[in-house]
Amino acid sequence: MIGERTDKFYSLYEREREKVDKRLAESLKNRKPDSLYEPGLYIIDGGGKRLRPLLVLFAARAAGGKFTDAYNASVAVELLHNFTLVHDDIMDNASKRRGRLTLHVRNDLSTAILVGDSLLSIAYEYLLRDCSGDSKEIMALFTKSLVDVCEGQSLDKDFESDESVSIDQYLEMIEKKTAALLKMCCKVGGILGGGTKKEINALANFGKNIGIAFQIQDDLLDITGEEIELGKFVGGDLVEGKKTFLFIKALEKAGGSDLKSLRNVVSNGGIKVNQIGKYKQIYFRLNVLEDARSAIKYFSGRALSSLKSLKKEEDRELFTWLANSLIKRNK
């Protein structure tokens, strides 16, 4: 029975994901100039889980509406997400994303900046299409998540040169950088689906907590993932000197030569690629991968417990399946 349900949800996810892909491609077609929209389409064609648009759609249904109520909003949130990816990849000097060249490497810096801006502009255009009576609330939520993403990214950069970042500060940062967008997706979907205040809040809490779990999982995958699955190279966060959950926990627990090695990452602004193995060993020694797994369990648990307010069992099961798939993912 559980197997059947899982198959059913997986099929639903894949079916809707394909439709999202199609609508995303359409959102940038038949626009000029090509110099702007061809690289935009390249970014959009790169694929991805399409988690954010699917959250919008599932939330709309769980709130009593239909997927069609939120089709354009689902395009908008994925465009917003891709805008952040293009600009973040410049800031992080990333050369690969989803197994392909990043835009500033494939084209050039100017194109990447401008295409990012452009994706955001089309995102607002699409969001407005699904806004009727409650346009102001939805536009404000979308805008708030954009403000949060900028602030979160700024904190993330600040933390690179800061030795004293605590897990609390880290959580505040990823709430803005990652969880705010997922929360907004659930909330906007809930509003467009015509949900009650209680339902919308439940969905928002799910989105926020699953977003936190998702980011810690991302930090974990940077160490435990496989390059071929991730589509980017393993250990990149260490090379970039990012303050991940693993790094902060390790810094908290380490002593002696391990602590000295970790402090070197901060003072040097990262490590060399040939040092990744050494730092992996430190993480294993300090058991911080287990700490990350516990934290993921904790936040996904909080996400799941907020589902109680959803009316239909099938929606509760769908979101539960989604949460479990996310924390078991390998990319």
Residues that bind a second copy (CB under 8 A): 31-33, 35-36, 87, 90-91, 109-111, 113-114, 116-118, 120-122, 124-125, 128, 131, 135-136, 139-140, 143-144, 146-147, 150-151, 153-155, 157-158
CB of 245 to a second copy, least distance (A): 20
Closer to a second copy by Cβ: residue 146 or 223:
146
CB of 142 to a second copy, least distance (A): 8
CA distances from 317 to 56, 79, 192, 218, 323 (A): 16, 28, 21, 24, 10
CB of 154 to a second copy, least distance (A): 4
CB of 90 to a second copy, least distance (A): 6
- Nearby residues of 164 by Cβ (< 8 Å), 6 or more positions away: none
Closer to a second copy by Cβ: residue 140 or 167:
140
Locate tokens 């939805």: which residue? 138
**126 and 72 in contact (C-beta within 8 Å)?**
yes
Beta bridge partners of 100: 97
- Nearby residues of 37 by Cβ (< 8 Å), 6 or more positions away: 28, 29, 31, 118
Closer to a second copy by Cβ: residue 36 or 259:
36
Closer to a second copy by Cβ: residue 115 or 289:
115
Closer to a second copy by Cβ: residue 154 or 201:
154
CA neighbor of 279 nearest in space, from 304, 256, 246, 305? 246
CB of 80 to a second copy, least distance (A): 11
